[in-house]
Amino acid sequence: MNQRSLKPHQSPATVGINVDFESIDAANSGQAGLFGRYSYGRYGLREGVERLLRAMDEVNAKVTFYAPVSDLTRHPELIRAIIEAGHEIAVRGRVDKGAGADEQMNALGEERAAMAKLLGASPRGWRSVDGVVTRNTLPALAQLGYSYDSSFCDDDLPYLMANASGEKLVELPTLDYLTDAPFYAQRHTHARTSKAWHEEAEAQYCAHALVHLTLHTRGDSGSTRLPRVEMVSQFLRWLQRKPGVRMYRGCDLADEVLSGAAAEPFPDAPAPQI
């Protein structure tokens, strides 16, 4: 069982916003398909990020934007808006399931260097686009200098991993029931989504567990349509009124875990012998 890494009276909360402008649509439809029905990523670019920035400002919440390097390379003007508002930008990347340890290390290193060039500082966090992480990914992230990953759904609290060399990495777990996409992709109503968020957040709060809200900038399965943005604002206001709730950016929460948590080994998942 994970040892509690935060003070018992604290109820930690964080918001992670998955940026998706064109990169995922392009992977699904090709460069020529980014118009018409394949324009939900563009909605996030045209309207979504600005709306979420306003919403976070209204509720005085500092959050983390997980962004693909390719999307920010095409739209660097958004970097300044996010950073100047006091938010963090972390990497939203993808790993090749068939890549060896050295190949994956090189790819992740190139990705981090490219993001550092855009931001003017090395990113501290990483999140998998599709949730795919191999046994080589987490040790590689730690070796490259990342402070945390946020790709897993395997705990209710952040936890710390370390290897024999002393390289450390914090995991900030997420939860489908506190994520927008599983609801909106299945055409659930705003009321049903809000009800699920409140119920799950209440349960996490009562257990002094992490309330990790995950949002997307997309216009279809994301939270950037006008009524959805308002729902996000209402949810965060409700959450912040609860005694003991403290909101963190991903990097700040990782710092707190790094300062006092006992470490466990990196997970190992050898190939099954069939």
Q: What is the pLDDT of residues 75-123, one digit of tens each?
A: 999 999 999 999 999 999 999 888 889 999 999 999 999 999 999 999 9
The tens digit of pLDDT for each residue in 223-235 reads 999 999 999 999 9
pLDDT at residue 36 tops 80: no
Q: How much helix, strand and coil, in percent to the nearest 5, is found in the chain?
A: 45, 15, 40
Which structure tokens are listed for 123?
């990113």
Query: Which letter does DSSP use for residue 2 in this model?
Result: P
- Per-residue pLDDT reduced to its tens digit, 195-253: 999 999 999 999 999 999 999 999 999 999 999 999 999 999 999 999 999 999 999 99
Q: Is 70 exceeded by the pLDDT of residue 9?
A: no
Look at residue 6 in the predicted model and tell me its pLDDT.
57
Residues with Cβ within 8 Å of residue 178, at least 6 apart in sequence: 197, 200, 201, 204, 211, 212, 213, 214
Domain map of the chain by residue range?
Answer: 11-265
Q: For domain 11-265, give the CATH superfamily.
A: Glycoside hydrolase/deacetylase (3.20.20.370)
Amino acid at 219: G
Count of beta carbons in the 10 Å neighbourhood of residue 191: 9
3-class SS of residue 242: coil
At residue 5, does pLDDT exceed 80? no
Strands 263-265 and 125-128: unpaired
- pLDDT of 270 > 70? The answer is no
Are 203 and 27 in contact, with CB atoms under 8 Å apart?
no
Find tokens 């119920």 and name the residue.
199
Rg (CA), the chain: 18
User: How many C-beta atoms lie closer than 10 Å to residue 233's C-beta?
Assistant: 18
